Amino acid sequence: MSSFRLQAAADAAALARLSELAHVIWHEHYLPIIGSAQVEYMLADGYSVAALIHAHRAGAQFTLAVDGAIDIGYASLSPDASDPANAWLDKLYVHADARGRGVARALLWHACDQARSLGAEQLWLRVNRHNAGSIGAYQRMGLVIARADIKDIGHGYVMDDYLMSASLDAMSRLQA
């Protein structure tokens, strides 16, 4: 099993790599859950290089997981503008070929460290309610379902999600 490293994705070149990886992962993982039209809409809206640069400038901290020269996963953490006690794990995705190697866990722990550095006390994320594999993985890593949430994202599409959360203090104990 090869090792991997985490690196900040803070410039246009790194965010372009993240965008490319997102397109691969989303087509592989989300087509059966939300369908092609919504996948394409969400990729165009949130994963163009311009959208990623905009999110970075607004405070999102992007991280790539890299194995050698191959990008295998990514995450994004953002402060909650309305409540500094909260931070949002906006994105956490791992390529199918790299799953089961601890990549998601490493990205999650890194996001927890980033959230603590922002002064947050609670980590939140959205996960599609029909994404049973990811829900189970997040639960095994210490997050709990707080509530269901349906969010209109435009053009007739909705995100039918669970909001999951974890206390960063509790996550610290799990990391130790």
**What's CA 156's distance to the chain center, in Å?**
23
Show me where the domains of the chain are located: 5-175
Give the pLDDT of the chain (176 residues) as one tens digit per residue.
459 999 999 999 999 999 999 999 999 999 999 999 999 999 999 999 999 999 999 999 999 999 999 999 999 999 999 999 999 999 999 999 999 999 999 999 999 999 999 999 999 999 999 999 999 999 999 999 999 999 999 999 999 999 999 999 999 888 76
Long-range contacts of 66-69 (CB under 8 A, 24+ apart): 66/4, 66/5, 66/6, 66/7, 67/2, 67/3, 67/4, 67/98, 68/2
* Pairing relationship of beta strands 122-128 and 86-94 according to DSSP bridges: parallel
Distance CA 36, CA 51 (A): 20
* Whether this model's pTM surpasses 0.85: yes
Class of domain 5-175: alpha beta
